[in-house]
Amino acid sequence: MLKGKHIILGVTGGIAAYKSAWLIREFVKANAEVQVVMTRTATQFITPLTLSTLSRREALIDMFPPAPDQTTDQWTKHVDLSLWADIMLIAPATANTIAKIAHGMADDFLTTLVLALRCPLLIASSMDVDMYRNEITQRNIDILKETGYFLIDPDSGELASGLTGPGRLPEIERLVKIVDDLLHKIHQDLTGKRVLVSAGPTQEPIDPVRFFSNRSSGKMGFALANAAALRGGEVTLVSGPVHLRTPRNTRRIDVVTASEMNEVMQSKFSSSDVVIMSAAVADFSPAHRVEHKLKRGDEVDRRFVVELKGNPDILKTLGEQKTHQVMVGFALETDDGVENAKKKLDEKHLDAIILNNPNVKGAGFGADTNVVTVITADGKIDELPMMSKFDVANEILDRVVTYL
Ligand code: C5P
């Protein structure tokens, strides 16, 4: 996969920066083109001359190089490079650069480029064990993961400081393989396509402070939105109330109730090419709207009855209006899964349905992994092994593109 690919290698100021020379050699040997971007501190650990020579391109360091070198197009270079790149890897990534990226800072060429970046970004953190375990570093890493960047965990072992623990840059072959694998998964096959994804639960109000809802975390839908955007799609993510950050390069519309979700999905439907309904829409909502907070009453043997009415089946309604859209639904089933899912695929006029069972280990609400069976309109049934929700998302999108 590396042949002919445009790779940006970001190098920041940690002791493992010396290993970037080997990384470049591996990429060049595989016939990839490499553009090195270094931070100023990285140049203390390895010279720009070494990395420029190995990559056969001048390593970029400053946003504004000193006067004699300055040309008028220099200041837009971060934008040009973003368009040029197929993938970017920062190895090693220091705690400082991770913190800056997590908070949107752009005070050098590397971090400015990251803000402008469209392609997948892999970040291989490498630092001393206490810096890595520091809760602020971990929080920053979480921000980056949720935003849709790919964090490569450091190896554990002896560190330059003499301490032992996680912090070592993984072996070069492993890093090269991770880059290669990601390029395998992400093709630019949704370029120009408008992708509408729903995610998360809905909340149905009982009174101004209480509601019915379900355990959906939104992770599967957010992974789908991230993967679709990385494949070039113009993604609109319609999300119920979740505790997740918006994936990069996606447009997010927040809704609360099934009826709000229905309204937004309806308004976006005709202009969409792909519709993926991964939201766990509440099937019922309270039949009567109560404007004041319900009183608990004082009797000991209290009872309370809430009358429920059925919510619209958003996907089914959209399926009936289908013109050119490729449509995917989810089916959460604990019994007779395949049979029920096939029925739903037909009833809702879908191209594919993704069956999962929350009782299976590694599947279901809140987890970062899922175990699904993909059933397509042509009758194919693919039982997939346990994989990350991002990988499941790509499996789904691989099938979507065949229907486009
Ligand atoms: O019929 P069931 O609820 O199992 O179908 C699940 C699929 O239908 C999911 O894709 C879900 O997002 C969608 N759905 C919907 N509107 C509802 C209930 C489910 O669009 N009210």
Each residue's pLDDT, cut to its tens digit, for the chain (404 residues) gives 899 999 999 999 999 999 999 999 999 999 999 999 999 999 999 999 999 999 999 999 998 866 655 565 666 788 889 999 999 999 999 999 999 999 999 999 999 999 999 999 999 999 999 999 999 999 999 999 999 999 999 999 999 889 999 999 999 999 999 999 999 999 999 999 999 999 999 999 999 999 999 999 999 999 999 999 999 999 999 999 999 999 999 999 999 999 999 999 999 999 999 999 999 999 999 999 889 998 887 777 778 889 999 999 999 999 999 999 999 999 999 888 999 999 999 999 999 999 998 889 999 888 899 999 999 999 999 999 999 999 999 999 999 999 99
Inter-residue contact 188 to 87 (CB < 8 Å): no
Pocket test for ligand 1, best of 330, 335, 354 (most atoms within 8 A of CB): 330
The predicted structure's pLDDT at residue 69: 56
- Does the Cβ of 315 fall within 6 Å of ligand 1? yes
Beta carbons within 10 angstroms of residue 147's beta carbon: 18
Q: How far is the CA of 355 from the centre of ligand 1 (A)?
A: 12
Tokens of 163: 């301490």
pTM of the model: 0.94
pLDDT digits (tens, 9 = 90+) for 236-274: 999 999 999 999 999 999 999 999 999 999 999 999 999
Q: Residues with Cβ < 8 Å from 238, sequence gap 6 or more?
A: 196, 197, 198, 199, 252, 253, 255, 261, 264, 265, 268, 279
pLDDT digits (tens, 9 = 90+) for 267-321: 999 999 999 999 999 999 999 988 999 888 777 777 888 999 999 999 999 999 9
- Does the Cβ of 202 fall within 6 Å of ligand 1? no
Inter-residue contact 34 to 27 (CB < 8 Å): yes
Dump the DSSP string for 329-398.
EEEE-SSSHHHHHHHHHHHTT-SEEEEE-TTSTT-STT-SEE-EEEEETTS-EEE--SEEHHHHHHHHHH
Q: Which residues pair with 172 in a beta bridge?
A: none
Inter-residue contact 269 to 325 (CB < 8 Å): yes
Q: What distance in Å separates the CA atoms of residue 200 and residue 129, rounded to the nearest whole number? A: 36
Domains of the chain: 6-185 (3.40.50.1950), 194-403 (3.40.50.10300)
Residue nearest to atom 4 of ligand 1 (CA): 331
Q: What's the Cα-to-Cα distance from 277 to each of 5, 233, 379, 404, rounded to whole Å?
A: 33, 16, 20, 17
User: CA angle, corner 23, sides to 29 and 34, nearest 5?
Assistant: 65
